[in-house]
Amino acid sequence: MSEWIGRDIEDMALFAQVVERGGFSAAARYTGVPQPTISRRILALESRIGASLLDRTTRRVHLTEVGRLTYDHVRIMLVEAQAARNAVDVLSATPRGLLRVAAPVLIGRSALPLVVNRFLKRYPDVSIALELTSRNLDPVEDDVDVVVRLNVPDHSQAWVDPLRLVRLGFYVAPSHPGPIPKDPSELTGQKIFGATRGPILQTLKFTRDNTETLVPISLRLRANDVAPVIQAVESCQGFALMPDYAAPQGWRSVCSEWQLPSSQIVALTTRHGRKQPRVKAFIEALKEGLI
C-alpha cells in the first residue's frame, strides 16, 4: 500500500504543476520532467482513481469536477509538505536544496547571470530553477521562492527587499559613425531601438538640475530582451534605449547630463520563506551583485 501512496503523491504533484502552469508543456519546462512522462503518469493516476481529472484540448487543459476537488486537496498537501521541508531547512545553517527564482527576461538576461553563477559556485548544495517570464509573479500567489522585478507591486503580501535603482538611458555602440547628441531634443527623428516597455511612440521626460524637457521619440524596435536591441543598433547605426545595467561594456552614454525617471529592482519573498538559509543567502548575493 505504501508503494502506491508514494506513487500517488508524486503523480499528484505533477498533476498540480499541470494545473498551475496551464498545460503539460509548461509543466514539463518547469519541472524538467519530459512532457510524455507527465502525460503518462497522470493517465495512470486517473486510472488508479477511476475518474478523469483533466479535460484536454489542443490549446489548454481544464479541470473536471473530480479534478477540481482533487486539486484542492493536493494543493493543501503540497503546501504542508513544503512547510515541513521549510521547517527542516531553517534548522540548517548551510544553504541547500532547490531555490525557485523568477525574473523578467531583461533582468534575467542582463543582470542575473553573474549573480547566479557566483551563488552556485559559493553554495554547491543549492540548485536553482530560474524562470524568465513576462508575467509579474508573486511568491505568495505562485510557487516561487524569490521574485526579482521592477518596483513594488500593489496589494502584495510579500516581503520586499530593495536591491538597486535603475535608470533608463540612451547608449550608442563604439562603432557609431556620426555625432553623439548632447541635448535630448536631438533624439527626435533618430533611429532608436528600445529594450524597455511602453508604446512604440512615446514622450520621454528628461531632467537636469531644475530643468525638464519632454521629447517625443519613435522606436524602430521594442523588445523585452537586450540581445536583439544590441544587434539592431550595431546593424542600423542607431541608438539604444535601455536600463543602465543592460548597457554593454564600452558603449557610450548619450545626453549623459540629462536623466530619465528611475525605477527600483526589488526581490520579493514570503515572510516565512525568507528565513530559509538558501533564500537569505540569495538575497544577499543579489544585493552584492546588483550594485
Q: pLDDT truncated to tens, each residue of the chain (291 aa)? A: 344 556 778 888 889 888 888 889 888 888 888 989 999 999 998 888 889 999 887 677 889 999 899 888 888 888 887 777 776 666 567 898 999 999 999 999 888 999 999 999 999 999 999 999 888 888 878 889 999 998 877 777 889 999 999 999 999 999 998 889 999 999 999 999 999 888 999 999 999 998 999 999 999 999 989 999 999 999 999 999 999 989 999 999 999 999 999 999 999 998 888 888 999 999 999 999 886
CB 20 within 8 Å of CB 61: no
- CA dihedral of 117, 21, 196, 243, whole degrees rounded to 10: -20
Sign of the Cα pseudo-torsion (100, 105, 109, 114, in order): negative
Q: List all residues 6 or more positions away from 189 whose beta carbon is below 8 Å from its beta carbon.
A: 218
Cell (9 digits) for 51: 475518474
Separation of alpha carbons 240 and 258, rounded Å = 16
Question: What is the value of pTM for the model shown?
Answer: 0.65
Pairing mode of beta strands 97-103, 146-150: parallel
Domains in the chain, ordered, with CATH? 2-90 (1.10.10.10), 97-291 (3.40.190.290)
Sign of the Cα pseudo-torsion (179, 183, 186, 188, in order): positive
Cα-atom radius of gyration of the chain, to the nearest Å? Answer: 23
